[in-house]
Structure 1
């Protein structure tokens, strides 16, 4: 089990990998104690049937630069293969603002190929590679050194079996002509905005029971301050204050440290120093927010006039399409999508791109009364008028 610990070794490996059609990639990281993921290990494998082309890259040893890897990521002649790539991509984007190109995500491809919704790597290893994974090292601390042989073996398995999975899924997509479907999904994964957490937008993740613009202005200011501090200090946002404490602060509207001390849910460290002062400033900002700048909640779903009968028919249509196309249902449309379509919404993901081809066009025809659904035995059949 070869481990790369120097920039020179990494560059030599990446130069060799660049001669192949693809390379499989995975990472091990920690995020429990930080805002940004802490990269602990990178696994790479070139095509082949043995482990000779598979390596571990240890970024925690010495002062190794990952630039040779990023050069490989930019090489468009080599496909970079991941499974469930989102968190891996975030690490590389935050570190170097680079995305692997071209990218292949076996989880997305597996959903398109009918393996179910958000299928796990272990399942694909069992069904495609006909192997069993040893999961005992899954939740170990990957930042501790030295790594055990069991950890190294587990980590390498994440890229060695991935080769067979990729080759199988790529062949299936080529046979079905669905490469474009996967490519559309991967455009979202490689969009910078997917990984950009803007402090001013953080309030939209906080659940509240009121739609008062003034209250939401307080939530917005408190959430933005928390997000900025979390990013600057690289600590989880909940280590500053949790959502329930944020909502409590928006209700209390403390103007002094004494008033702040009355908050029941606030952590001890947030009652003093920079965080306490920042909370008071955020509260003042929310109180003083001009009427014209008050945030407005997204009330489209409240105003939506869902047609329950039509929504149920759309669910039946979706089930029929899923069975016919062999694609995971949630990849095509969510329950919220179906409700929105039944209410007359048309700016819905299920009506765009490849989804329109598979489901969206018939969904619109069903809404317009141009098709009907009937049963033939156990099958749902579309009848066109």
Structure 2
């Protein structure tokens, strides 16, 4: 185990691992004062080597990206959606050939949000500390406790994946997990995805009609402005202020200026917000799911939900692995979406169609 801060050490390490069939990968980043996460550390493990690469050091990371984006090398990761965001930000691309131990574990009976610590304890009888979860990874030098935490996140992940894969083979669910992990590379990264960003605004679900429409538009504008300024969204407009403005429905520049306490928005930007709210029509990002919900029968939703519940018990997996409420609504209203694709189509789609027809 060692920390890499110099180019020569990095080049030597990358040369040693370039022919590996699989590697464990994790990242640490800072995001307290910015909209975009700042990559601070990349941890790489092989069966015989572990290194933490200091991305804030004066080193060229091109060789590292070649390894991570090498399709022949399987990347073993845990709950990797944020890591994928980091990779996308740095390379405008997403690595192929990923095995996510959190996703895979859900298919052998674990919760869909099972933590790495719990998996290690139950699968390998290994205990690790998670005391540095909210550590500031941008500070240098890194503390010994931080380095131990970083090493722990990858040291046993390859062995963990082997344990999970053995159980998947016995259950004949390898293909299911491969499909789920493959879908990771096609998902939106969450950065600057304004289509459903309103769901992160606390209190918005209690609003109705025009008030809700305004809150959705405010959330969309805030997200785009936060990305432009590279500042946390709530530093510009707090959730409570969005709800208050939407309830008031007075969109004058003067009222907006009084309602927004942040000094990080200039008057011209408030005017831009006023213009945006006055001239933007409700679009796809708003209430499509709610509109579909209104068109379906409540008894159909209950029937599909009940079927997924009983099927998940038979399979020994959580119901949310089969499908969310959003997935159910889409299937009922359109006979499409996740419940009619891939392994789910083979497993449950025909039963659902029979149930509804």
Q: Structure 2: how far apart are the matches of 1:126 and 1:19?
A: 30
User: Taking structure 1 as the reference length, what is the TM-score of the superposition?
Assistant: 0.81
Q: In the TM superposition, what is the alpha-carbon distance from 1:219 to its structure 2 partner?
A: 4.9
User: Taking structure 2 as the reference length, what is the TM-score of the superposition?
Assistant: 0.86
* Superposition pairs of residues 296-375 of structure 1, within 5 angstroms: 297-298=287-288, 299-308=290-299, 310-338=300-328, 344-368=333-357
Q: In structure 2, list runs of 5 or more residues that go unmatched.
A: none
Among 137, 143, 167, the residue aligned to 2:138:
143
Corresponding residue of 1:38: 38
**Greater mean alpha carbon deviation, residues 28-37 or residues 168-177:** 168-177
Corresponding residue of 2:28: 28
Q: In structure 1, list runs of 5 or more residues that go unmatched.
A: 369-385
Check conservation: 1:181, 1:354, Cα contact below 8 A. Answer: yes
Pair 1:169 & 2:164 matched:
yes
Q: Structure 1: how far apart are the matches of 2:277 and 2:301?
A: 40
* Superposition pairs of residues 232-311 of structure 1, within 5 angstroms: 232-250=228-246, 251-256=249-254, 259-263=255-259, 266-270=260-264, 275-289=266-280, 293-295=281-283, 297-298=287-288, 299-308=290-299, 310-311=300-301
**Greater mean alpha carbon deviation, residues 239-248 or residues 100-109:** 239-248
Pair 1:54 & 2:50 matched:
yes
Q: Structure 1: how far apart are the matches of 2:161 and 2:68?
A: 17
- Secondary structure of residue in 2 paired with 1:164: helix
Corresponding residue of 1:229: 225
- Secondary structure of residue in 2 paired with 1:28: strand
Cα separation, partners in 2 of 1:151 and 1:196, compared to 1, 3 Å: closer
Q: Structure 2: how far apart are the matches of 1:311 and 1:268?
A: 43
Check conservation: 2:39, 2:55, Cα contact below 8 A. Answer: yes
Max Rg structure: 1
Q: Structure 2: how far apart are the matches of 1:8 and 1:88?
A: 25
Corresponding residue of 2:110: 115
Q: In the TM superposition, what is the alpha-carbon distance from 1:331 to its structure 2 partner?
A: 0.8
Among 177, 180, 186, the residue aligned to 1:185:
180
Q: Structure 2: how far apart are the matches of 1:178 and 1:255?
A: 57
Q: Structure 2: how far apart are the matches of 1:281 and 1:154?
A: 45
Q: Structure 1: how far apart are the matches of 2:198 and 2:119?
A: 38
Q: Structure 2: how far apart are the matches of 1:173 and 1:305?
A: 36
Q: Structure 1: how far apart are the matches of 2:194 and 2:342?
A: 31
Check conservation: 1:24, 1:162, Cα contact below 8 A. Answer: yes
Q: In the TM superposition, what is the alpha-carbon distance from 1:83 to its structure 2 partner?
A: 0.3
Check conservation: 2:11, 2:63, Cα contact below 8 A. Answer: yes
Q: Structure 1: how far apart are the matches of 2:296 and 2:324?
A: 17
Q: In the TM superposition, what is the alpha-carbon distance from 1:84 to its structure 2 partner?
A: 0.3
Corresponding residue of 2:79: 84
Corresponding residue of 1:375: none
Q: In the TM superposition, what is the alpha-carbon distance from 1:334 to its structure 2 partner?
A: 2.4
- Secondary structure of residue in 1 paired with 2:313: helix
Count of equivalent residues: 349
Cα separation, partners in 2 of 1:349 and 1:201, compared to 1, 3 Å: closer
